[in-house]
Amino acid sequence: MTKEEFSEIRRKLGKTQAQMSHLLGTSIKAIQSFEQGLRRVPVYAERQILFLFAMAMSRNRKQKNCWEEKKCPLEARQICPAWEYQLGHLCWFINGTICDGLVHESWEEKMELCKKCKVFQDILPSLEEKENEGGR
């Protein structure tokens, strides 16, 4: 997660740096360091802030499950935690999901794939739009 993404999500959640530090269980200095790019956003903080943002942005929207979007065969669904817990809209948040036939080795590897997926993009459209604008 980039410092810009972190700052953008915090602002869209309407949280001050102090409030965000309480939500993430870290110090305000850590939040400032993440936003200044002095420290990398740790996985636990990235996961939590993305989860909170996804929940805030999806309150009034019907979301498609990942297995429907990806047209996963039943055999793949039955061994995937997203299917097991019926959390197809939060598949990106759950470790151990079977996406494109693979369980990913790390959060970073998983997120690289997830950020290209329509399920993730539909939940967090404003982040994707911002990323695409920056790349032009």
How far is the CA of 135 from the CAs of 28, 46, 49, 80, 128, in angstroms?
A: 30, 22, 23, 33, 11
The answer to whether 12 touches 126, Cβ cutoff 8 Å, is: yes
What six digits make up the tokens of 83? 């299917």
* Residue pLDDT, tens place only, 54-93: 888 776 667 778 888 888 888 888 888 888 888 888 888 8
Query: Domains along the chain?
Result: 1-57 (1.10.260.40), 61-136 (no CATH)
Give the pLDDT confidence of 24-51 residue by residue, as tens digits. Answer: 999 999 999 999 999 999 999 999 999 8
Residues 6+ apart with CB under 8 A from 52: 13, 23
Give residue 63's identity as a one-letter amino acid code.
Answer: Q
| 85-97 per-position pLDDT tens digit | 888 888 888 888 8
Query: Are the beta carbons of 92 and 114 closer than 8 angstroms?
Result: yes
- The amino acid at residue 73 is P
pTM score above 0.85: no
Average pLDDT over the chain, rounded to whole?
84
Give the mean pLDDT of 98-122: 82
